[in-house]
Amino acid sequence: MNKPNSKWKWAGLAAVSGWAGRALEITTKAHRQAPRNPGTRRHHRLGVSGKPREPIGSALGAAMVEMEKARPVWNNPLQFVFACISYAVGLGNVWRFPYLCQMYGGGGFLIPYIIMLVVEGMPLLYLELAVGQRMRQGSIGAWNTISPYLRGVGIASVVVSFFLSMYYNVINAWAFWYLFHSFQDPLPWSSCPLNSNLTSYDEECEKASSTQYFWYRKTLNISPSIEENGGIQWEQALCLILAWLVVYLCILRGTESTGKVVYVTASLPYCVLIIYLVRGLTLHGAINGLAYMFTPKIEQLANPQTWINAATQIFFSLGLGFGSLIAFASYNEPSNNCQKHAIIVSLINSSTSIFASIVTFSIYGFKATFNYENCINKVILLLTNTFDLEDGFLTPGNLEETKDYLASAYPTEYSKIFPDIKNCSLESELDTAVQGTGLSFIVYTEAIKNMEVSQLWSVLYFVMLLMLGIGSMLGNTAAILTPLTDSNTISSRLPKEAISGLVCLISCAIGLVFTMEAGNYWFDIFNDYAATLSLLLIVLVETIAICYVYGLKRFENDLQVMTGCKPNWYWKIIWAFVSPLLIIGLFIFYLTDYILKGTLQYQAWDATQGQLVTRDYPNYALAVIGLLVASSTMCIPLVALGTFIMNRWKKGKTVSV
């Protein structure tokens, strides 16, 4: 045998050609029709020479071959990157970051933001992606592999993801509602409806504004407090069902369909943002908003709140701890360079935040200038009518001196109308910082209704919101479904489509609570409390588990074997020391904040005054908040305790036998 390798090759070919002709036909047909499934990859990986390509330790190699048999993978690494971007870039980039930027120092906020990105965001993202890629299972399976006592971490992730998906899709429902209403001329939120005898506008609408009225009355039909539940709004319920059907359509086939959808959900928002940037910068008064935002107020850097908010924004914006990143990375090929991808995804996420805040602030500037000019015109009209001045005499230019003159010449009449003369100030208009649903559905719509061809801008904007929301929902549902499909007990009984359908159905049914009249108050409860504390705890336990339970050296070796490059000292120091300390600091801050605040309060819409008022939560709402936080955080110690007791019981059984 001169060339043993060539003999092996010939033997292999003989084996293949030795099959019956019909058998050959059937195998090639089967390979063509099956989805890209690593059933075929086994041949590539092992090669015809029969030796594995990489020098993997035998146990790990065997385990990888075993798992490879059934696990779907992304068609190419780009799908994985797009999926992570689509998940991380969500509504928080559009409606939370601009608010933080405005409140905590304008351009100066970028300094703590970038520092936290490098110190906290990138390392933790890399850690989660590496864990997912190495373990090749969803969050429950991955943490179970690291240590059976830590399975609670995975379960806590799934519980938090479940809470999140329940309330997050309601935002998509609202986006659908506004999108469908954008096809009318004029836009329904551009003017107030009339009252019953058609002499003037509806009272609530006059006191508030037309966009606020459309949001609070027509969309939410909100009740005055959380105690008054009201009934389910059928229009919102229909939009919620539609939102869940769209999500189901995207996750139906697992990574195969998700991989194609994320091309759209990741790239479309950027197209819309660029269009809006061009439009926003050309709007009248946009410069005012941009100048206001980007003038750095350096003294805010001394405020600890600035740093804490930068840290929490990076943390929650990347979506760490939900298990979605572990799920996405588990569908990767083991040789994928996740360090590069982690850096790319976190950079893109942060630059999208900054980009979106430029757009938001040019829109703010336009809206503030528009309102300021309206205010000035109202004052001019009031003065012109009271003193019967010639129409068109008063201009914004000579307004001040004319006011002084009138005050001195006709003091009695001037003092009569003085309470109505508002001091119009551009600063105060720009100062109205809004975040959250208020920014998207009230402030933005107010700016859009004043643009030309407002239907087009409205449609574009709500399509973008939908893409961002659906992209994040795909990650959330992946975090829930991956552990379920990984576990053999469930996936052997039900096909993938049925599991996804069940999860969507249950979440939709519970989500109908948010379509009731008091639903927005419950939404705020979930938004503020369902994920914050639990995530910090989960990520803290994750970091400590990898560094100290699994062992940093062992993890480092695994990464080198898997991807070929060793994580350098920077990552190791951050994982082992800096991140845990940082997360503990954030955790302490949140706890002390809750304790010091005393009773928790919420903002309720008062229809008679046309504005928000602060109320206290009733006892059962506080109980729900406690339950939300406890149900996810308690998973970790309870499951550890349960595993410990089971092991003791088993040992006791074997010993006694």
- Minimum CB distance to other proteins smaller for 378 or for 566: 378
Among 246, 375, 407, 578, binds other proteins (CB under 8 A): 246
- Minimum CB distance to other proteins smaller for 195 or for 229: 195
Among 48, 180, 463, 612, binds other proteins (CB under 8 A): 180
Paired tokens of 50:
């029969």
**367 φ/ψ angles, rounded to the nearest 5 degrees:** -65, -45
Q: Taking a C-beta distance cutoff of 8 angstroms, is the pair 171, 472 a contact?
A: no
**372 φ/ψ angles, rounded to the nearest 5 degrees:** -65, -45
Residue type, 440: S
Q: Does 402 bind other proteins (CB under 8 A)?
A: yes
d(CA 281, CA 279): 6
- Minimum CB distance to other proteins smaller for 217 or for 253: 253
State the DSSP string of 429-465.
HHH----THHIIIIIHHHHHHTSTTHHHHHHHHHHHH
Among 5, 19, 267, 425, binds other proteins (CB under 8 A): 19
Dihedral-angle region of residue 323 (phi above 0 means left; psi in -120 to 50 means alpha; beta otherwise): left
Cis bond upstream, residue 38 (ω within 30):
no
Q: Taking a C-beta distance cutoff of 8 angstroms, is the pair 331, 80 a contact?
A: yes
Q: Does 47 bind other proteins (CB under 8 A)?
A: no
Please, which residues have CB within 8 angstroms of residue 78's CB and are 6 or more apart in sequence?
Answer: none
Considering only residues 378 to 397 of the shown chain, the ones binding other proteins according to CB under 8 A are 384-385, 387-393
CB of 236 vs other proteins, minimal distance in Å: 12
Q: Which stretch binds other proteins (CB under 8 A): 8-16, 111-119, 153-161, 316-324?
A: 8-16
Residue type, 131: V
d(CA 513, CA 522): 8
Binding residues, by number, are 88-89, 93, 317, 349, 468, 472
CB of 362 vs other proteins, minimal distance in Å: 29
Q: 318 vs 278, 352, 507, CA distance in Å? A: 27, 12, 23
Q: Does 70 bind other proteins (CB under 8 A)?
A: no
- Minimum CB distance to other proteins smaller for 402 or for 631: 402
Q: Which stretch binds other proteins (CB under 8 A): 30-38, 271-279, 336-344, 362-370?
A: 30-38
Q: Does 38 bind other proteins (CB under 8 A)?
A: no
CB of 10 vs other proteins, minimal distance in Å: 8
Q: Does 590 bind other proteins (CB under 8 A)?
A: no
Among 5, 6, 15, 40, binds other proteins (CB under 8 A): 15
- Minimum CB distance to other proteins smaller for 71 or for 279: 71
Q: Does 450 bind other proteins (CB under 8 A)?
A: no
Please give the DSSP secondary-structure letter assigned to residue 323.
S
CB of 386 vs other proteins, minimal distance in Å: 10
Binding residues for Na(+), by number, are 88-89, 93, 317, 349, 468, 472
Q: Does 184 bind other proteins (CB under 8 A)?
A: yes
- Minimum CB distance to other proteins smaller for 250 or for 363: 250
Q: Taking a C-beta distance cutoff of 8 angstroms, is the pair 231, 516 a contact?
A: yes
Q: Does 452 bind other proteins (CB under 8 A)?
A: no
- Minimum CB distance to other proteins smaller for 391 or for 452: 391
- Minimum CB distance to other proteins smaller for 403 or for 572: 403
Residue length of the chain = 657
Q: Does 181 bind other proteins (CB under 8 A)?
A: yes
Among 12, 38, 77, 148, binds other proteins (CB under 8 A): 12
Paired tokens of 381:
């009209």
Binding residue count for other proteins, defined by CB under 8 A: 58
CB of 194 vs other proteins, minimal distance in Å: 5
Q: In 10 A of CB 254, how many CB atoms?
A: 18
Among 38, 52, 193, 610, binds other proteins (CB under 8 A): 193
d(CA 53, CA 335): 12
Considering only residues 454 to 513 of the shown chain, the ones binding other proteins according to CB under 8 A are 495, 497
Q: Does 199 bind other proteins (CB under 8 A)?
A: yes
- Letters for 253-272 (x = contact with other proteins by CB under 8 A, - = none) are x---x---------------
Q: In 10 A of CB 392, how many CB atoms?
A: 8
* Longest Cα separation, the chain: 118
- Minimum CB distance to other proteins smaller for 29 or for 44: 29
- Letters for 138-177 (x = contact with other proteins by CB under 8 A, - = none) are --------------------------------------xx
Strand partners, 603: 614
Among 44, 69, 107, 183, binds other proteins (CB under 8 A): 183
Among 78, 194, 565, 573, binds other proteins (CB under 8 A): 194
State the DSSP string of 327-358.
HHHHTS-TT--HHHHHHHHHHHHHHHHHHHHH
d(CA 93, CA 351): 9
**451 φ/ψ angles, rounded to the nearest 5 degrees:** -85, 160
Provide long-range contacts, Cβ within 8 A and 24+ apart, for 589-595.
Answer: 589/308, 590/532, 590/533, 590/536, 591/533
Q: Does 33 bind other proteins (CB under 8 A)?
A: yes
Q: Taking a C-beta distance cutoff of 8 angstroms, is the pair 480, 503 a contact?
A: yes
- Minimum CB distance to other proteins smaller for 343 or for 406: 406
Q: Does 14 bind other proteins (CB under 8 A)?
A: yes
Among 65, 238, 275, 376, binds other proteins (CB under 8 A): 238
Q: In 10 A of CB 553, how many CB atoms?
A: 10
From the list 612, 631, 632, 649, the residue with the least C-alpha distance to 216 is 612
Torsion over CA: 38, 41, 46, 48 (sign): positive
Residue type, 239: C
Strand partners, 232: 516
CB of 285 vs other proteins, minimal distance in Å: 21
State the DSSP string of 350-369.
HHHHHHHHHHHHHHHHHHHH
Q: Does 565 bind other proteins (CB under 8 A)?
A: no
Q: Does 75 bind other proteins (CB under 8 A)?
A: no
**Sites of contact with other proteins (CB under 8 A):** 7-8, 10-12, 14-15, 18-20, 23, 26-27, 29-30, 33-35, 176-177, 180-181, 183-184, 186, 191, 193-194, 198-201, 238-239, 242, 245-246, 248-249, 252-253, 257, 384-385, 387-393, 398, 401-402, 405, 409, 495, 497
